[in-house]
């Protein structure tokens, strides 16, 4: 179990890195008048893969940490752990965003925020329309991920009230019905589109992978070949597939990743960095776009009007490293301390 949890933390770190790199590229392209793509046009694909992996890892962790809690009266402990993990940093950056928007609305040219949006954001309901996305987000645009997270946790906590078989059936049916509604309703209402988005099926993908894995007395370990196969399948699915086919291939890839164990070198620099990013992933997710927005303006003022691929690549690296570093500090100062104060293991 310890090995699986550490592996899941690493996978969450990879998901976080993919999303941060993708968003960093979107900011960096604004530094050049011809909108050069530092990642060769694949930035959005990396971000999409990161979101899918993050949701699968969330489902896997929820199942692995609470597999024996169904019907055991531990729902409140589960809810408390999730709230401590998400709410402190999410609320802080939501309030910071609101203050910045009131002081200088020009910093958010594509966003119009009403007082009701502020209240809805605090209960994880997206209501701010973003023209570039043609979708709803909370006041803090990166928070849409946590709106789905909280919906999944709400459904999962209801499932914990039941026996394991009944609870898992409830969880799977609830999310499948919501996802199927996107096909049957074909609604133009943005709220309906948000809450019936099939992306929620990736939570079930993670739960399913844990449920199907046999408990091996002798662990099987990853080799270069297994990781190469997983990488190949992930690339093919993101570039050439969509819908159920993409979900199936990525689920199989995730199953391989979590079925085999990693040979950890726990004191290596790479493992320490991955563990730190994985633990701080929620804080990094919440804060990185706001931090990048401020940093991009500083970099834009320092760079010449004409800049090439190398300069933009260095700017991207700067945005990524700074966002990860500050995100980890936010985790250490706020999220981790809140967890210690409330004496819960937020996982």
Which stretches of 186-242 are DSSP H helices? Answer: 190-195, 201-212, 224-240
**In the predicted model, is pLDDT for residue 284 greater than 80?**
yes
Confidence band for 25, pLDDT divided at 50, 70 and 90: very high
Burial of 131 (0-12, 13-18, 19+ CB in 10 A): exposed
Q: What is the pLDDT of residues 29-71, one digit of tens each?
A: 877 766 667 788 888 999 999 999 999 999 999 999 999 999 9
Beta bridge partners of residue 130, listed in sequence order: 135
Structure tokens at 188: 């133009």
Kind and range of the H or E run holding 81:
helix 75-103
Structure tokens at 256: 């391989």
Predicted local distance difference test score (pLDDT) of residue 346: 46
**What separation, in Å, do the N-terminal and C-terminal C-alpha atoms of the chain show?**
13
Distance of alpha carbon 10 from alpha carbon 59, whole angstroms:
15
Look-up of token digits 């530094």: 31
Q: Between residues 100 and 320, which one has the greater pLDDT?
A: 320
Q: What is the pLDDT of residues 194-247, one digit of tens each?
A: 999 999 999 999 999 999 886 655 567 777 788 899 999 999 999 999 999 999
At residue 277, what are phi and psi to the nearest 5 degrees? -65, -40
Distance of alpha carbon 282 from alpha carbon 151, whole angstroms:
16
Distance of alpha carbon 143 from alpha carbon 121, whole angstroms:
9
Q: Count Cα neighbours of 177 within 13 Å in the Cβ-side half-sphere.
A: 7
Predicted model pTM: 0.91
Per-position DSSP letters for 284-319, written without gaps between them: HHHHHHHHHHHHHHHHHHHS-SS--HHHHHHHHHHH
Q: CA angle, 48 as apex, 47 and 53 as ends, to 5°?
A: 95
Across 90-99, average pLDDT: 91
At residue 160, what are phi and psi to the nearest 5 degrees? -65, -20
Q: What is the pLDDT of residues 101-133, one digit of tens each?
A: 888 777 776 677 888 999 999 999 999 988 777
Beta bridge partners of residue 129, listed in sequence order: 136
CB 237 within 8 A of CB 246: yes
Across 306-331, average pLDDT: 88
Q: Count Cα neighbours of 60 within 13 Å in the Cβ-side half-sphere.
A: 30
CB 30 within 8 A of CB 306: no
DSSP at 217: S
Using alpha carbons, select from 81, 122, 16, 75 the residue that is nearest to residue 338: 81
Q: What is the pLDDT of residues 174-199, one digit of tens each?
A: 999 999 999 888 888 999 999 999 99
Indicate the average pLDDT of the chain: 87
Distance of alpha carbon 203 from alpha carbon 179, whole angstroms:
12
Using alpha carbons, select from 319, 331, 328 the residue that is nearest to residue 292: 319
Per-position DSSP letters for 5-28, written without gaps between them: HHHHHHHHHHHHHHHHHHHHHHHH
The full set of domain ranges for the chain reads 2-342
Distance of alpha carbon 99 from alpha carbon 106, whole angstroms:
13
Distance of alpha carbon 62 from alpha carbon 59, whole angstroms:
5
Q: CA angle, 93 as apex, 92 and 95 as ends, to 5°?
A: 70
């Amino acid at each position: 179990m310890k090995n699986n949890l550490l592996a899941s933390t690493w996978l969450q770190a990879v998901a976080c890195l993919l999303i941060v790199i993708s968003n960093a590229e979107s900011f960096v392209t604004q530094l050049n008048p011809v909108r050069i793509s530092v990642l060769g046009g694949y930035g959005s694909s990396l971000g999409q893969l990161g979101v899918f992996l993050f949701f699968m890892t969330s489902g896997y962790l929820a199942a692995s940490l609470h597999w024996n809690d169904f019907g055991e009266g531990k729902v409140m402990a589960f809810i408390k752990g999730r709230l401590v993990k998400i709410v402190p940093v999410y609320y802080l950056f939501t309030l910071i965003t609101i203050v910045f928007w009131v002081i200088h609305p020009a910093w958010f040219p594509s966003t119009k925020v009403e007082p009701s949006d502020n209240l809805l954001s605090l209960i994880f309901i997206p209501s701010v329309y973003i023209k570039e996305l043609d979708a709803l987000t909370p006041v803090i645009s990166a928070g849409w991920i946590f709106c789905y997270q909280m919906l999944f946790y709400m459904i999962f906590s209801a499932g914990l009230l039941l026996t394991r078989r009944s609870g898992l059936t409830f969880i799977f049916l609830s999310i499948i019905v919501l996802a199927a509604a996107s096909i049957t309703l074909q609604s133009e209402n943005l709220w309906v589109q948000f809450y019936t988005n099939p992306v929620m099926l990736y939570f079930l993908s993670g739960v399913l992978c844990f449920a199907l894995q046999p408990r091996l007395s002798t662990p099987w370990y990853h080799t270069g070949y297994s990781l190469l196969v997983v990488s190949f399948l992930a690339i093919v699915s993101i570039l050439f597939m969509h819908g159920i086919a993409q979900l199936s291939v990525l689920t199989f890839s995730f199953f391989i990743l979590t079925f085999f164990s990693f040979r950890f070198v726990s004191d290596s620099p790479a493992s320490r960095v991955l563990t730190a990013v994985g633990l701080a992933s929620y804080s990094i997710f919440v804060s990185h776009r706001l931090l990048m927005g401020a940093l991009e303006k500083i970099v834009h003022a320092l760079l010449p009007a004409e800049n090439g691929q190398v300069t933009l690549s260095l700017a991207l690296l700067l945005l990524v490293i700074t966002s990860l570093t500050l995100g980890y500090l936010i985790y250490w100062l706020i999220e981790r301390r809140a967890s210690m104060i409330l004496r819960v293991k937020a996982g």
